[in-house]
Structure 1
Amino acid sequence: MKANTGLKFGLLAAVVLAFVPAVTGSTVLTNSPGGFNAGLTRAVGEGDTSGGLLRLGSSATCDSLDSAQTFDSWCLVVQRIFSRNLMSFAGKPGDKGLSVTPDLVVDLPVVNTDSTVWTYTLRDDVFWSDGTPVTSYDVKYAIQRLYDDSLQSPISLETLCLFTLCTKGVPDYKGPYVSPTEDLPAIITPDERTVTFNLTRPFSEFSRLLATPQFAPIQMARDIELRAAGSTYKTNPASNGPFVLAIDQSDALYSFTKNQFWTQESDGIRIPKVDAMSWKVFPDGDSTDRALINGEIDIKLNYGLAPLARDATLVSKENRALIDNPEMGFVNFLFVNPKVPPLDRAPCRDAIFYALDKLDLQAVRGGSASVAIAHSISPPTILGYDNSYNPYPSGSNESGNIKKARESLAQCGYPDGFQTKMSYVAIGIGKDIFLSVQKSLARVGIVVDPVEYGNFAEYFTTGIGSPDTMSTQKIGIAATGWGPDYSSALSFWAPLVDGRKIKSAANQNFAELNLDEINSLLDQLDAAATPAEAARLSKAIEKLVMNEAVYLPYGVDRLVLYRPRNLTDIYVQIALGNQYDIVNVGKLENPLK
Structure 2
Amino acid sequence: MRAAPLEPSSPSRRRTECYLMTRRRRSIALAATAVAIALGATACGGSSSTTGSGSPTKGGTLTVLDHADFDHLDPQRVYTTEGSSMDQELVRTLTGWDETGSQPRLVGDLATDTGTPSKGDTVWTFHLRKGVTWQDGKAVTAQDVKYGVERFFSPDINGGPPYASQWLVGGSSYKGPYSGKELASIQTPDASTIVFHLDQPVTDFNQATAMPGWSAVPKAHDTGSTYDTHVWSDGPYMIKSYTKNKELVLAKNTDWKQSTDPIRQQNVNEIDVKLGQDQSAIDQQIKSDAGTAQTSIMQWPIAGSDLTTIAGDPSLKSRLYNIPAPGINYLAINTTRVKDLKVRQAIEDAIDKTTARGAFGGKAYGGYASTMLSPGIGGYQKFNLYSSNPAGDLAKATALMKQAGNPRLTMSLAVENTTTEEHFADAVKTSLGKIGITVNITPIDAANYFSTIDNVKNQYDLTWGDWIADWPNASTVLPVLFDGRQIAKLPQSNQDLSYLNDPAVNAQIDKIAKMTDIKQADAAYGALDEQIMKDAAVVPLMYMNFSELAGSKVGGVISDPILAEPSLVHAYVKS
Same fold (TM over 0.5): yes
**Deviates further, 41-50 or 69-78:** 41-50
Q: 1:84 aligns with which of 87, 92, 100?
A: 92
Match of 1:514 in 2: 502
Query: What amino acid is aligned across from residue 330 of structure 2 in structure 1?
Result: N
2:126: which partner in 1?
Answer: 120
**Alignment map for 1:408-419 (pairs within 5 Å):** 418-419=406-407
In structure 2, which of residues 303, 313, 316 is the aligned counterpart of residue 316 of structure 1?
A: 313
Q: Note if 1:424 corresponds to 2:412.
A: yes
Distance 2:456 2:141 in 1: 40
The answer to whether the aligner puts 1:483 opposite 2:467 as a matched pair is: yes
**Count of matched residue positions in the alignment of Structure 1 and Structure 2:** 512
CA distance in 2, matches of 1:130, 1:505: 35
Report the alpha carbon displacement of residue 136 of structure 1 after superposing the two structures with TM.
0.9
Per-residue deviation, 1:529: 5.2
SS at match of 1:486: coil
Give the share of equivalent positions with the same residue, in percent.
20
- SS class of match (2:88): helix
Amino acid at match of 1:47: S
Larger radius of gyration: 1
Quote how far apart the aligned CAs of 1:548 are. Answer: 4.5
Q: 2:175 aligns with which of 166, 173, 180?
A: 173
In the TM superposition, residue 110 of structure 1 has moved relative to its aligned partner by 2.6
Q: Deviations over 1:227-278 (max 9, x none)?
A: 9xxx97655644433x2325148684624336455234x43333x3735343
Residues 138 and 219 of structure 1 are in contact (CA less than 8 Å); yes or no, is this contact kept in structure 2? yes
Q: What is the correspondence of 1:229-240 to structure 2 with a 5 Å cutoff?
A: 237-240=231-234
1:281-321 per-position Cα deviation (integer Å, ceiling 9, x unaligned): 26623665465332414343431344676565345332255
CA distance in 2, matches of 1:431, 1:236: 33
| Pick aligned residue for 2:565 from 570, 574, 579 | 579
Residue 23 of structure 1 corresponds to none
The separation in 1 between residues aligned to 2:414 and 2:112, in whole angstroms, is 51
- In the alignment, structure 1 residue 244 sits paired with structure 2 residue 267: no
Question: Is contact 2:241-2:248 (8 Å) kept?
Answer: yes
Matched-pair contact (CA < 8 Å) for 1:49–1:586: no
Alignment partner, residue 27 of structure 1: none
For residues 241-390 of structure 1, the aligned pairs below 5 Å read 241=235, 243-248=236-241, 252=247, 254-257=249-252, 259=254, 261-264=256-259, 266-270=260-264, 272=265, 274-281=267-274, 284-285=277-278, 288-289=282-283, 292=286, 293-297=289-293, 298-306=295-303, 310=307, 313-314=310-311, 316-320=313-317, 322-328=319-325, 329-335=327-333, 344=341, 352-365=347-360, 367-369=362-364, 372-379=367-374, 382-385=377-380, 389-390=383-384
In the alignment, residue 486 of structure 1 is paired with which amino acid? D
Aligned residue runs from structure 1 range 520-559, under 5 A = 520-527=507-514, 535-556=522-543, 558-559=545-546
The answer to whether the 8 A contact 2:463-2:497 is kept is: no
Residues 452 and 459 of structure 1: is their aligned pair in 2 closer, same or farther, counting only changes over 3 Å?
farther
- The question of 1:55 aligning with 2:52 is answered no
Alpha-carbon separation, structure 2, partners of 1:235 and 1:495: 27
Alpha-carbon separation, structure 2, partners of 1:580 and 1:284: 19
Cα 1:415–1:165 shift into 2, 3 Å: closer
1:88 and 1:416, CA in 2 relative to 1: closer, same or farther beyond 3 A? closer
- Structure 2 gaps of 5+ residues are 1-41
Alpha-carbon distance in structure 2 between the residues aligned to 1:249 and 1:163: 34
Q: Aligned match of 2:436 in 425, 429, 447?
A: 447
Check the 8 A contact 1:354/1:401 in 2, yes or no.
Answer: yes
Residues 413-435 of structure 1 deviation map (CA, whole Å, 9 limit, x = unaligned): 95999446352236648886566
Deviation at 1:510, TM superposition (A): 3.3
Gaps of 5+ in 1: 1-35, 466-476
Q: 1:330 to 1:45 in 2, by over 3 A?
A: farther
- Aligned-residue offset at 1:349: 6.0
Three-state SS of the structure 1 residue aligned to 2:84 is helix
Structure 1 residue identity aligned to 2:392:
G
Q: Distance in 1 between matches of 2:367 and 2:537?
A: 20
**How many angstroms does 1:46 deviate by?**
3.4
* Rounded Cα–Cα distance in structure 2 between residues aligned with 1:424 and 1:543: 27
Structure 2 residue aligned with 1:497, among 482, 503, 508? 482
* Shift in Å, 1:40: 8.9
C-alpha separation in 2, matches of 1:324 and 1:275: 20
The alpha carbon displacement at 1:549 in A equals: 4.1
Deviations 1:329-375 (A, max 9, x none): 4522253859978x546xx8656544431112223455445565322
Match of residue 26 from structure 2: none
d(CA) in 1 for partners of 2:47 and 2:374? 17
The 1:305/1:441 distance shift into structure 2, 3 A limit, reads closer
Aligned partner letter, 1:316? D
Distance 1:132 1:509, change over 3 A: closer
Assess, with a 3 A threshold, how the Cα gap between structure 1 residues 37 and 114 changes in structure 2: closer, same or farther: closer
CA distance in 1, matches of 2:101, 2:63: 20
CA distance 1:294–1:142, change in 2 (3 Å): same
Give 2:4's aligned residue: none
- 1:191 Cα offset (Å): 0.9
Map of 1:33 onto structure 2: none
Q: For residues 121-160 of structure 1, give each alpha carbon's deviation from its aligned partner in whole angstroms, at most 9, with x where no partner exists.
A: 222343334544322111112223344445x342367743
Deviations 1:163-196 (A, max 9, x none): 4646xx7x44341xx334x332221111111111
Relative to structure 1, is the Cα distance of residues 275 and 586 closer, same or farther in structure 2, using a 3 angstrom cutoff?
closer
SS where residue 543 of structure 1 aligns?
helix
Given that residues 501 and 509 in structure 1 are in contact (C-alpha distance below 8 angstroms), is that contact kept between their aligned partners in structure 2?
no
SS in 1 for 2:251: strand
CA RMSD, Structure 1 to Structure 2 (Å): 4.5
Is residue 124–residue 197 contact of structure 2 (8 Å, CA) maintained in 1?
yes
Q: Report the Cα distance in structure 1 between the residues aligned to 2:375 and 2:254, rounded to whole angstroms.
A: 35
SS in 2 for 1:137: helix
Equivalent-residue separation in structure 2 for 1:238 and 1:563 (angstroms): 28
- Distance change >3 Å, CA 568–CA 531, structure 1 → 2: farther
Q: Structure 1 residues 364, 66: CA separation in 2 closer, same or farther (over 3 Å shift)?
A: closer
The Cα offsets for residues 368-419 of structure 1, whole Å up to 9 and x where unpaired, read as 4556532222256954446x65454532xx32346xx54x877x79599944
Q: 1:103 to 1:530 in 2, by over 3 A?
A: farther
Once the two structures are superposed, residues 544-590 of structure 1 have per-residue CA deviations (whole angstroms, 9 ceiling, x without a partner) of: 323444432123555430134444443321333x221101234542x
User: How far does residue 62 in structure 1 lie from its aligned partner after superposition?
Assistant: 3.9
- For 1:58, give the aligned amino acid: L
Cα pair distance change 1:350/1:521, threshold 3 Å: same
Q: Determine the structure 1 residue equivalent to 2:142.
A: 136
Matched, 1:107 2:119: no
Change (3 A) 1:464 1:106: same
After superposition, the Cα gap between the structure-2 partners of 1:196 and 1:44, relative to the gap in structure 1 and judged at 3 Å, is closer
Deviation at 1:85, TM superposition (A): 0.8
